[in-house]
Structure 1
């Protein structure tokens, strides 16, 4: 596939995500859009869908091969999909990411940042925090 076509598909993918249009996202993915291709600022599609709580789109991206733990580097969109969803209390999106293997203990900033549980607890989003704890996330201890 030519570079121009890949860019066009990627643009359409992000448009579908931002609009919450799962049908469009499905169509663009079937047309060959790369679920792990970032936009021009470095934002990953799965991060964008997760931060906006678009659970159905998150599922489509994961089923198409997006890595549940890939860290986005977009301006204002840095971090992991699980941290993004937990920060805003998108519990069903968190559940979907965990079901697809997202690591509940993975910290942002390549291990130096906040965990999904810290984001959920600081939200405060107790239902999301409880889900993360049930999945194995551990609160940071005074020593850690």
Structure 2
């Protein structure tokens, strides 16, 4: 793995995440050139693009991220996590300029969101049906106990 000091130029072939090796050297991700030929790391470029309006992510990508987070919190956590990953992959692909991969990732995220919502609704419906069956059984049991208690009282009185 190629390394560099903070005052050196980026070296091709480094990983995507900056880390530090045992010699206290930073391992910096490769950079790319934007339209104005400034070297910008991909994550910083994504943040800058959302702030300055340059190469903004599609608006449905933002709504997809919101939907993915809501599915994670309220419906099905595993499906929501996958949807978040797919959404962020789409944003990164968009930042790199790969629109086809970004759209594919966004469509995949939407599918995971829909699957998570459907699964969450299915779980709630099954829970309600199970709860209804349980309550009905408890009411039947209470009713049987009341009937058996009434018969015992009538037998004891001699009626």
Bin the TM-score by the shorter chain: under 0.3
1 or 2 for the larger relative contact order (CA 8 Å, sep ≥6)? Answer: 1
TM-score by length of 2: 0.22
Question: Which has more radius of gyration?
Answer: 2
